[in-house]
């Protein structure tokens, strides 16, 4: 499910430039996906002289509690849809987008950004990386937003946006980047929507 918002062309281009994204406007229909270093899955379509932006509305889902996390022991959960597997991990070093008292708890897709290989077994706690991938050796730095550091992938590992409340409950609230195999993270591939 998405929410939509109409903006004029000038606002759209400013917004796109702020994201350092690549935008190509054409005569109609879906014209661009706003992309950049931290894409949120925003898409755009030209309607007359207006550009319609569509923002994905991610669910808030409790996925664990601070009290349950052990350093070096990833916890797995599906988000935003069943089958979209992710891992939650306490890195024991500060991380971009990290939560918790030490800012070191992060979550990422467990599917390699290259061709979707499962990466459940290749977490390296000493270095805070995920990889090398069992298929083509891609490796991602979990302290740096899943930055691709080696192998055939050409993009970051998708990162789950996390929030922690006063009782230590950890919620998933969104996703940076596109999960492998999905044209949109919230799109149901069984034909529903
Ligand atoms: S599927 Fe992981 S590097 Fe190719």
Q: How much is the pLDDT for 193?
A: 46
Q: Is a pLDDT exceeding 80 seen at residue 123?
A: yes
H or E segment to which residue 159 belongs: strand 159-164
Answering whether pTM is above 0.95, one says: no
Asked whether residue 7 falls in the same domain as residue 39, the answer is yes
Q: Is the CB of 150 under 6 A from ligand 1?
A: no
Asked whether residue 18 falls in the same domain as residue 106, the answer is no
Minimum mean pLDDT range among 52-66, 106-120, 158-172: 52-66
What CATH number is associated with residue 115?
2.102.10.10
Q: Is the CB of 170 under 6 A from ligand 1?
A: no
Query: Which residue has the CA at smallest separation from atom 3 of ligand 1?
Result: 136
Say which residue the tokens 């499962």 belong to: 118
**Does some domain include residue 182?**
no
Asked whether residue 78 falls in the same domain as residue 16, the answer is no
Q: How much is the pLDDT for 32?
A: 40
| Residue 47 banded pLDDT, cuts 50, 70, 90 | confident
Asked whether residue 26 falls in the same domain as residue 118, the answer is no
Q: How much is the pLDDT for 42?
A: 61
- C-alpha closest to that of 113 among 162, 171, 193, 182: 182
Q: Structural domain of residue 47, as residue ranges?
A: 2-56
**Does some domain include residue 171?**
yes
**Does some domain include residue 189?**
no
Asked whether residue 40 falls in the same domain as residue 132, the answer is no
- Cα pseudo-dihedral 178, 179, 184, 188, rounded to 10: -170
Residue from 119, 120, 136 to probe ligand 1 pocket by mutation (most atoms less than 8 Å from CB) = 136
Instruction: Give the percent of the chain with pLDDT over 70.
Output: 74
> Given the CA of residue 112, which atom of ligand 1 is nearest to it?
2
Asked whether residue 67 falls in the same domain as residue 40, the answer is no
Asked whether residue 158 falls in the same domain as residue 115, the answer is yes
Q: Is the CB of 115 under 6 A from ligand 1?
A: yes
């Amino acid at each position: 499910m998405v929410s939509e918002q109409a903006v004029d062309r000038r606002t759209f281009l400013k917004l796109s430039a702020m994201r350092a994204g690549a935008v190509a406007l054409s005569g109609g229909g879906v014209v661009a996906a706003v992309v950049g270093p931290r894409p949120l899955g925003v898409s755009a379509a030209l309607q007359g002289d207006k550009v319609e932006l569509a923002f994905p509305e991610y669910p808030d889902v409790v996925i664990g509690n601070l009290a349950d996390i052990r350093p070096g022991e990833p916890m797995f959960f599906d988000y935003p849809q069943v089958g979209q597997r992710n891992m939650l991990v306490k890195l024991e070093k500060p991380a971009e987008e990290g939560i918790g008292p030490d800012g070191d708890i992060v979550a990422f897709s467990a599917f390699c950004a290259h061709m979707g290989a499962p990466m459940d077994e290749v977490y390296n706690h000493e270095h805070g990386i995920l990889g090398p991938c069992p298929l083509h050796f891609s490796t991602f730095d979990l302290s740096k937003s899943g930055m691709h550091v080696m192998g055939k992938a050409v993009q970051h590992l998708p990162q789950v946006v996390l929030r922690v409340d006063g009782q230590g409950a950890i919620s998933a609230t969104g996703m940076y980047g596109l999960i492998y195999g999905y044209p949109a993270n919230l799109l149901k591939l069984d034909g529903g929507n």
